[in-house]
């Protein structure tokens, strides 16, 4: 996200605000988002969809802060939710219920009920058991549940190395071979209205082919369904578009969308509404995690920079071995600081948590001193939302920058809050 987080001389800026000023004002560790970066990512989907029958449903699991959701809702986004909690957040942030699709393999009764009462656009159903459950609850409430079946297209991961959720052997979706049967069952169940088909084949995908493979399989299914006199209103190809963390070349949404629309028209399905569920690609490079160096340790074979952020704040390195860029918030000038006492070394950036897996970045060449600020890049997706309170560490504050203004969109938790609701046993 180069233009939104950039250097002005030696200073890292978030739009027109200096990151070191944000750190001074709000403390560290601190999540900082750029509203302009969110808008630019949004436009990369919205532009190619002008005059198209399409809906973008932000995969809000990637970043569910109310201020972030509010922006997307104002720009016309729908939302892909996976829980009753996310439904409540989306509604609170101003989402229109008829733009919400409800995904997830384990929808509970109360969640199905809440979604029916809110009037969501559709349930992305992942099993026959779930279909029967939704039918029952809708009948009890005397309403009709709009459903799409999440089909598992079993796309070939061998030719396309990506984090896959569209393969046979995982818990997601309904196997494509039995999908037509399940649609026939849906057609006769009370309280069910069939409206669509969906799939989601994985995340951080950087090749177009898996999407097109999956699309062909969905279109073949639509042909079968037409033969059974089952007709749909929409086709949802999920999310999953990758972003640049290190040296990846992301797919431009416009490129994918053009190909998808062309195929839909070729196969006679141009009338379907196209839905996408992007998460990471709308928010990932719109956020950084700002952290302060506490201590430096120079061992014989290894240098550690111990910072005030940890795996509880940004879990991706620990959980996925994920690579995030690390930038100095004040870039050292080449000449003046390269002396004997301060020199660039190769550091592991680690947190204070009592686990060897508590690291944020490894083997980074940096010129560091105690109290220096660092920015962990690409932290806008699956960052704060995956954070926790392990070691009784309050979760970070979150700030949104808009041009030369900054807004505190979630205050730092206090230590007292962390156990305020816990109860001790009577003496």
Active site residue ranges: 354
Nearest 5°: CA angle at 215, between 214 and 216?
90
Instruction: State the residues that interact with ligand LLP by CB under 6 A.
Output: 59, 62, 80, 103, 200, 203-204, 238-241, 277-281, 316, 320, 382
Q: How far is the CB of 283 from ligand LLP (least distance, A)?
A: 8
Q: How many CB atoms neighbour CB 128 within 10 A?
A: 15
CA 315 to chain centre: 14
Q: How far is the CB of 299 from ligand LLP (least distance, A)?
A: 30
Closest CB to ligand LLP among residues 71, 83: 83
Are 199 and 152 spatial neighbours (Cβ–Cβ below 8 Å)?
Answer: yes
> Is 345 part of any known ligand binding site?
no
Closest CB to ligand LLP among residues 160, 200: 200
Closest CB to ligand LLP among residues 89, 200: 200
Find all residues with CB under 8 Å of 226, minimum gap 6, and list them. none
Q: How far is the CB of 129 from ligand LLP (least distance, A)?
A: 18
Q: Which has the closest alpha carbon to 84: 113, 127, 59, 64? A: 113
Q: Which has the closest alpha carbon to 263: 253, 272, 251? A: 272
> Is 280 part of any known ligand binding site?
yes
Q: Which has the closest alpha carbon to 166: 133, 209, 196? A: 209
Q: How far is the CB of 150 from ligand LLP (least distance, A)?
A: 7
Closest CB to ligand LLP among residues 203, 387: 203
Enter the tokens of residue 186.
């849906």
> Is 279 part of any known ligand binding site?
yes
Closest CB to ligand LLP among residues 148, 406: 148
CA 344 to chain centre: 34
Rg, the chain, Cα only: 23
> Is 278 part of any known ligand binding site?
yes
Enter the tokens of residue 390.
């392990």
- The number of residues making up the chain comes to 427
Q: How far is the CB of 334 from ligand LLP (least distance, A)?
A: 35
Closest CB to ligand LLP among residues 103, 135: 103
> Is 21 part of any known ligand binding site?
no
Work out the angle between the directed axes of helices 109-118 and 128-140 (0-180°, nearest 10): 60
> Is 277 part of any known ligand binding site?
yes
Q: How far is the CB of 315 from ligand LLP (least distance, A)?
A: 8
Find all residues with CB under 8 Å of 425, minimum gap 6, and list them. none
Query: Is the sign of the CA dihedral 256, 260, 266, 267 positive or negative?
Result: positive
> Is 239 part of any known ligand binding site?
no
Q: Which has the closest alpha carbon to 59: 286, 382, 377, 328? A: 382
Are 294 and 9 spatial neighbours (Cβ–Cβ below 8 Å)?
Answer: no
Known binding-site residues for pyridoxal 5'-phosphate equal 240, 277-280, 382
Known binding-site residues equal 240, 277-280, 316, 320, 355, 382
Known binding-site residues for substrate equal 280, 316, 320, 355, 382
């Amino acid at each position: 996200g180069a233009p939104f987080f950039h250097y002005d001389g030696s200073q890292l800026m978030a739009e027109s605000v200096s990151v070191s000023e944000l750190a001074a004002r709000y403390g560290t560790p601190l999540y900082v988002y750029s509203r302009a970066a969110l808008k630019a990512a949004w436009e990369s989907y919205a532009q190619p969809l002008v005059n198209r029958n399409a809906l973008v449903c932000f995969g809000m699991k990637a970043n569910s802060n109310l201020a972030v959701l509010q922006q997307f809702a104002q720009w016309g986004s729908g939302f892909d939710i996976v829980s009753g909690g996310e439904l409540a957040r989306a509604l609170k942030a101003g989402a229109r219920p008829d733009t919400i699709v409800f995904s997830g393999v384990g929808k509970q009764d109360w969640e199905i009920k809440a979604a029916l009462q809110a009037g969501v656009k559709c349930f992305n159903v992942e099993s026959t058991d779930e279909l029967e459950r939704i039918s029952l609850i809708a009948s009890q409430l005397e309403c009709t549940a709009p459903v799409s079946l999440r089909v598992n297209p079993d796309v070939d991961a061998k030719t396309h190395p990506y984090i896959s959720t569209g393969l046979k052997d995982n818990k997601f979706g309904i196997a494509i071979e039995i999908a037509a049967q399940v649609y026939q069952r849906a057609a006769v169940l009370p309280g069910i209205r069939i409206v669509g088909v969906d799939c989601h084949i994985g995340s951080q995908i950087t090749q177009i082919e898996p999407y097109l493979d999956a699309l062909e399989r969905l279109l073949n299914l639509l042909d079968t369904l037409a033969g059974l006199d089952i007709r749909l209103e929409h086709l949802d190809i999920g999310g999953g578009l990758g972003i640049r963390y290190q040296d990846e070349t992301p797919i431009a949404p416009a490129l994918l969308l053009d190909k998808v629309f062309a195929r839909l028209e070729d196969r006679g399905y141009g009338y379907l509404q196209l839905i996408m569920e992007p998460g990471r690609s709308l928010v990932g490079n719109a956020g950084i995690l700002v952290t302060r160096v506490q201590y430096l340790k120079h061992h014989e074979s290894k240098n550690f920079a111990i910072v005030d952020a940890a795996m509880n704040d940004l879990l991706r390195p620990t959980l996925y071995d994920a690579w995030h860029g690390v930038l100095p918030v004040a870039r050292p000038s080449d000449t003046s600081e390269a002396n004997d006492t301060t020199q660039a070394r190769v550091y592991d950036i680690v947190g204070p948590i009592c686990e060897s897996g508590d690291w944020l970045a490894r083997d980074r060449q940096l010129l560091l001193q105690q109290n220096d600020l660092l920015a962990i890049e690409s932290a806008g997706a699956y960052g704060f939302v995956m954070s926790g309170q392990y070691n009784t560490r309050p979760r970070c504050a979150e700030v949104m920058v808009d041009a030369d203004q900054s807004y505190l969109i979630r205050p730092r938790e206090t230590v007292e809050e962390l156990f305020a609701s816990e109860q001790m046993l009577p003496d």
